[in-house]
């Protein structure tokens, strides 16, 4: 009898159409690596050498204002530029290129250098959500912008260059790869079902409960059935809306709260500041009824503060693979306290 808890199998990601190989039997193999703790990261509230702290100098001689809440600026090393000439190259359908223009910004979450999302207070996190919405509305209203990606790289392991709490916004003139896949899948589902893919998925997960991590009045955090990273999380809005521009005030508060709770549970897992890449997938306004607002968390850690999952070998050449099941990961995250370990005695 085929058992998802015992037997190797492939799971389907309905958002991307891709598969992940799950090998639950391998979690029984002995682990001989170290389980080490990192020294506590003690950072000052203000670092004179940080390019994101208030009053400090950035690349190109820009001076940050003495900001007291959030602070947004255009990335001094933007990957996308506004004044990019349009054009395309196509040689025999083999050498293809298309001009891409856009805007890159950096959003500081707080003037405090030593905070993280997990350690921010709720009004502070709500201010971050309000800043995202404001930037999202402005950028997505532009005729030269087709897609706005808001994302946070957290921790050196994820290539984050600075521990000061911040995220990036890249707004581009075309739809990026991941968004194209999700657009097609969500459209296909909506056309058939008349409901969003994630509304139907969320209803199923809520009735099962086994992959739910935490929830509030407006959002649910779960380890998706098709999770690829060990402790991957998907945050889905209970109400189907396509973009953060449609959120009510209460939904903004709930988004702030659930993002903080996910970050707190992550930090509590190995009692370290947990590295991850997270970001939103969304479309603005009412013109995309098949789109359902959500956030993905892709954290690399597997077993301890230092043992990470690598996407190498078979995963680069064939299909991504995981050992611990999504259900087991959700159970661990669900069992963790909602209070940050640094605040416990
Ligand atoms: P990461 O920590 O995710 O690397 O983001 C930091 C961004 O800050 C990065 O994209 C930008 C980098 O280009 N940056 C500036 O805009 N000005 C600076 O003075 C340094 C870094
Ligand atoms: Zn997505």
Per-residue pLDDT of the chain (345 residues; tens, 9 = 90+): 999 999 999 999 999 999 999 999 887 665 555 556 777 778 999 999 999 999 999 999 999 999 999 999 999 999 999 989 999 999 999 999 999 999 999 999 999 999 999 999 999 999 999 999 999 999 999 999 999 999 999 998 888 889 999 999 999 999 999 999 999 999 999 999 999 999 999 999 999 999 999 999 999 999 999 999 999 999 999 999 999 999 999 999 999 999 999 999 999 999 999 999 999 999 998 899 999 999 999 999 998 888 899 999 999 999 999 999 999 999 999 999 999 999 886
Roughly what angle, to the nearest 10 degrees, separates helices 197-208 and 177-193? 80
Under 8 Å CB-to-CB from 255, ≥6 apart: which residues? 129, 218, 219, 244, 247
**What is the domain count for the chain?**
1
Angle formed at CA 178 by CA 175 and CA 181, multiple of 5 degrees: 85
332 part of a folded domain: yes
Rounded Cα distance between 193 and 13, Å, is: 18
Q: Can you tell me which atom of ligand 1 is nearest the CA of 152?
A: 3
| 23 close to 322: Cβ distance less than 8 angstroms | yes
Catalytic-residue membership of 7: no
pLDDT attached to residue 34: 52
Q: Tell how far the Cα of 76 is from the centroid of ligand 1, in angstroms.
A: 7
Pocket test for ligand 1, best of 80, 161, 166 (most atoms within 8 A of CB): 161
247 occurs within a structural domain: yes
Q: Tell me how far CA of residue 159 lies from CA of 156, 162, 208, 277, 310, in angstroms.
A: 5, 9, 36, 9, 14
Q: Give the per-residue pLDDT at 219.
A: 99
Distance 169 CA to ligand 1 centre (A): 11
CA-wise closest residue to 281 among 192, 181, 188, 211? 181
Looking up residue 182, the CATH number of its domain turns out to be 3.30.428.10
Q: Is 139 in the pocket of ligand 1 (CB under 6 A)?
A: no
- Which of 222, 217, 305, 333 lies closest to 34, judged by CA? 305
Establish if 167 belongs to a structural domain. yes
Task: Determine the pLDDT at residue 120.
Answer: 97
CA of residue 280 to ligand 2 center, whole Å: 7
SS3 219: strand
For ligand 1, whether the C-beta of 162 sits within 6 Å is yes
Q: Provide the phi-psi class of 217: left if phi over 0, else alpha when psi is between -120 and 50, else beta.
A: alpha
Strands 294-298 and 102-108: unpaired
Cα–Cα distance for residue pair 209/327, rounded to 1 Å: 10
- pLDDT of 237: 98
Annotated catalytic residue within 113, 164, 166, 290: 166
Tell me the CA distances in angstroms from 15 to 132, 283, 293, 309, one per residue in order. 24, 15, 12, 22
Side-chain-side CA neighbours of residue 328 (13 Å): 17
pLDDT of residue 40: 74
Please check whether residue 97 lies inside any domain of the structure: yes
* Residue 294, domain extent: 39-343
Candidate of 57, 59, 63 to mutate for ligand 1, largest count of ligand atoms within 8 Å of Cβ: 59
> Do the domain assignments include residue 246?
yes
Residues in the chain: 345
Cβ–ligand 1 contact at 51 (below 6 Å): yes
Please state, in angstroms and as integers, the Cα–Cα distance from residue 38 to each residue in 83, 118, 240, 262, 304, following that order. Answer: 45, 18, 41, 21, 10
Report the b/e string of 294-315 with b at 16+ CB within 10 A.
bbbbbbbbbbbbbbbbeeeeeb
For ligand 1, say whether the CB of 140 is within 6 Å of any of its atoms.
no
* In a domain? residue 13: no
User: Is the CB of residue 117 less than 8 Å from the CB of residue 259?
Assistant: yes
Q: Contact 184/300 with Cβ under 8 angstroms?
A: no
Strand-pair category, 233-237 with 294-298:
antiparallel
Q: Exposed (0-12), middle (13-18) or buried (19+): which is 67, by Cβ within 10 Å?
A: middle
Using alpha carbons, list the distances in angstroms from residue 165 to 28, 58, 153, 168, 173: 38, 16, 10, 11, 27
Pocket of ligand 1, candidates 77, 78, 276: which has the most ligand atoms within 8 Å of its Cβ, to mutate?
77
Would you say residue 20 lies in a domain?
A: no
Q: Which residues contact 54 (CB under 8 A, 6 or more apart)?
A: 46, 64, 65, 66, 67, 68, 71, 111
Q: Find the 61 Cα to ligand 1 centroid distance in Å.
A: 14
Residue 238 lies in a domain: yes
Helix intervals (H) in the chain: 122-140, 177-193, 197-208, 249-270, 314-317, 326-335
């Amino acid at each position: 009898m085929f058992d998802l808890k015992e037997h190797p199998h492939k799971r389907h990601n309905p958002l991307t159409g891709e598969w992940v190989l799950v090998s639950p039997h391998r979690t029984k193999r002995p682990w001989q690596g170290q389980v080490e703790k990192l020294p506590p990261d003690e950072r000052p509230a203000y670092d004179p050498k940080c390019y994101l702290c208030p009053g400090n100098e950035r690349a190109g001689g820009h001076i940050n204002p003495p900001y007291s809440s959030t602070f947004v600026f255009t990335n001094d090393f933007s990957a996308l530029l506004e004044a990019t000439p349009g054009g395309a190259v196509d040689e025999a359908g083999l050498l293809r290129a298309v001009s891409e223009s856009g805007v890159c910004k950096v959003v500081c979450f707080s003037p405090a250098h030593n905070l993280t999302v997990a350690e921010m207070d709720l009004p502070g996190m709500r201010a971050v959500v309000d800043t995202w919405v404001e930037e999202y509305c402005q950028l997505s209203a532009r005729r030269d912008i087709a897609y706005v990606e808001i994302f946070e790289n957290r921790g050196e392991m994820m290539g984050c260059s600075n521990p000061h709490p911040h995220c990036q916004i890249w707004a581009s003139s075309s739809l990026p790869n991941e968004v194209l896949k999700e657009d097609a899948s969500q459209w296909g589902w909506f056309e058939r079902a008349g409901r969003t893919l994630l509304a139907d998925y969320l209803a199923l997960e809520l009735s099962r409960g086994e992959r739910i991590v935490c929830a509030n009045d407006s959002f649910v955090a779960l380890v998706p059935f098709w999770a690829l990273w060990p402790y991957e999380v998907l945050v889905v809005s209970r109400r189907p809306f396509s973009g953060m521009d449609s959120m009510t005030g209460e939904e903004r508060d709930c988004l702030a709260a659930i993002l903080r709770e996910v970050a707190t549970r992550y930090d509590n897992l190995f009692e370290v500041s947990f590295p991850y890449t997270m970001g939103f997938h969304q479309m603005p306004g009412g013109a995309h009824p098949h789109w359902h607002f959500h956030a993905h968390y892709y954290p690399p850690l597997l077993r301890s503060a230092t043992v990470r999952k690598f996407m190498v070998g078979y995963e680069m050449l064939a299909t991504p693979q995981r050992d611990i099941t999504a259900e087991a990961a959700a159970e661990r995250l669900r069992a963790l306290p909602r209070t940050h370990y640094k605040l416990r005695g």
